[in-house]
Amino acid sequence: MEWYEATALLIGGLMVLMFIGIPVAVAFLLINMAGVYVFMGGLIGVEQMIANSTSSVTSFALVPVPLFLIMGELLFHSGLAFRVFNALDKCFGGVRGRLAYLTVGGGTIFATLSGSSMANTAMLGTTMMPDMMARGYKPHIIMGPILATGGLAMIIPPSSLAVLLGSLARIDVGALLIAGLIPGLILALMFVAVIWILIRIDPEAAPGYATEKYGIREVVWALTRDVLPMGFVVFSVVGLILLGWATPTESAACGAISVLILAAVYRCLNWFVIQKSLMGSVKVSAMMLLIIIGSTTFSQILAFSGASRGLIEFSTGFDLPPAVMLLAMLMVVIVMGMFMDQLSIMMLVLPIFMPLVHLYHFNEVWFGVLTLLALELSLATPPFGLLLFVMLGVSPPGTTMRQVVMAAAPFLLCTLLLMVLIAIFPQLTLWLPGIISG
């Protein structure tokens, strides 16, 4: 069988199964069984696929994923995240649009603590949206910052998706996590600038209103009591990696323990919080591991059938300049994100992209950050961006998909602009990991 026939059977078959609504994990399983039966000797190939499934999910590099998920779930269910927002709220006073700015500020802090874009978006939606609606904010100034800031958890460490990307693409996970810190903070500042511009264009989008005035002593006490202790969690995760004292796996464990300690100190740790947090993290982790099992075998079948080699030779046969090849790869990720979830996209493209990355001598960490930004962008792109549906789920009845998409549009342009800046100035991502390794 020619490589293009194998590609059509494997990738085309997978896309068709997903398009007709079959769950991703089941789609991978079905196409893998067909692939091993055709290319790997019938039932013997199926037995080999089962044997490979165990090794694909018993990797030590995947341990941080459930730990980061547990950390985010504990922060949400214990109420620690809400305390951060209440404390930051006292700092903004009567600034017009202060709740939108608070969404970006608090959401950025929570992004450094949760590692999950969906959890971040859901938490911001349930926390900030009711108050903003009650204050008369227009829908676009409510939903836009929530969607944009929710996606920051994908790029700002600790990012569970960055851990998966590094593990699957064999990129240094620690360097990839640290490389996302500066771009993530730049993106947050861009979001603040967009909010300021939108309010300047339409002041009624965020009506002014009288707010309770707090003295300096009250503000300082609120920050010291509710925000400063979160630095303990950030240090446990990011600081330990920066100092070289812990691996990403060890820092994830330290982060989960630090949240448990804080919840106990604040007396908001109980059996209900633990149960809800564990159930939430188990559900997401199980889904991810099932997809990893299917996609790892899928990558092996692609290689065994000759489809991977044929695709690479076909791609390089055009003799494209490196910049054009990079643009093409990122566009593939963004377009696929309109129809598929981020984990599935990584599983499909990484076996093809990483050999091209090595062939064109792209820096792996730099390419990893650009890929994460493309995935973040695709989270809020229609028609099937996951964050769009999360936003619809927490919005009041009658909210349409068009309203959500239009609210997200200006903030998506920020992500595109940052991707261009990183492509032109790679040191935005490589400077900090270089300092650490040096």
Q: How far apart are CA 403 and CA 396, in angstroms?
A: 12
Whether the per-residue pLDDT at 214 is higher than 80: the answer is no
Alpha-helical runs (H) found in 23-172: 24-39, 43-57, 64-78, 80-92, 98-114, 117-134, 139-150, 160-169
Find the range with the poorest average confidence among 1-10, 109-118, 216-225, 233-242: 109-118
pLDDT digits (tens, 9 = 90+) for 275-292: 988 888 887 777 767 766
Evaluate whether 24 touches 344 at the Cβ level (below 8 Å).
yes
pLDDT digits (tens, 9 = 90+) for 342-385: 777 787 788 888 888 988 899 999 999 999 999 888 878 876 67
Over 90: is that where the pLDDT of 269 sits? no
Q: What is the pLDDT of residues 193-206, one digit of tens each?
A: 999 999 999 888 88
Q: What is the DSSP string of 257-322?
A: HHHHHHHHHTT---HHHHHHHHHHHHHHHHHHHHHHHHHHHHHHHHHHHTHHHHHHHHHHTT---H
User: Cα separation of 67 and 116, whole Å?
Assistant: 11
DSSP state of 384: T
Please state whether 171 falls in left (phi above 0), alpha (psi between -120 and 50) or beta: beta
Indicate the length of the chain as a whole number.
438
DSSP H stretches of helix in 156-270: 160-169, 173-179, 181-201, 216-222, 230-234, 240-242, 248-265
Residue 146 has pLDDT above 80, yes or no: yes
Is the pLDDT at 299 greater than 80, yes or no? no
Element (H, E) at 412: helix 401-424
Instruction: Please list, in sequence order, all residues whose beta carbon lies within 8 angstroms of the beta carbon of residue 52, skipping any fewer than 6 positions away.
Output: 296, 297, 300
Q: What is the pLDDT of residues 87-104, one digit of tens each?
A: 877 777 667 888 888 888
Q: Is the pLDDT of residue 211 over 70?
A: no
Place of tokens 């985010």: 72
Band the pLDDT of 174: cuts 50, 70, 90.
Answer: confident
Query: 355: Cβ–Cβ under 8 A, 6 or more apart, which residues?
Result: 308, 312
What pLDDT, on the 0 to 100 scale, is given for residue 334?
Answer: 84
The pair of three-digit structure tokens given for residue 143, joined into one six-digit string: 């939903």
CA atoms within 13 A on the CB side of 204: 0
pTM: 0.75
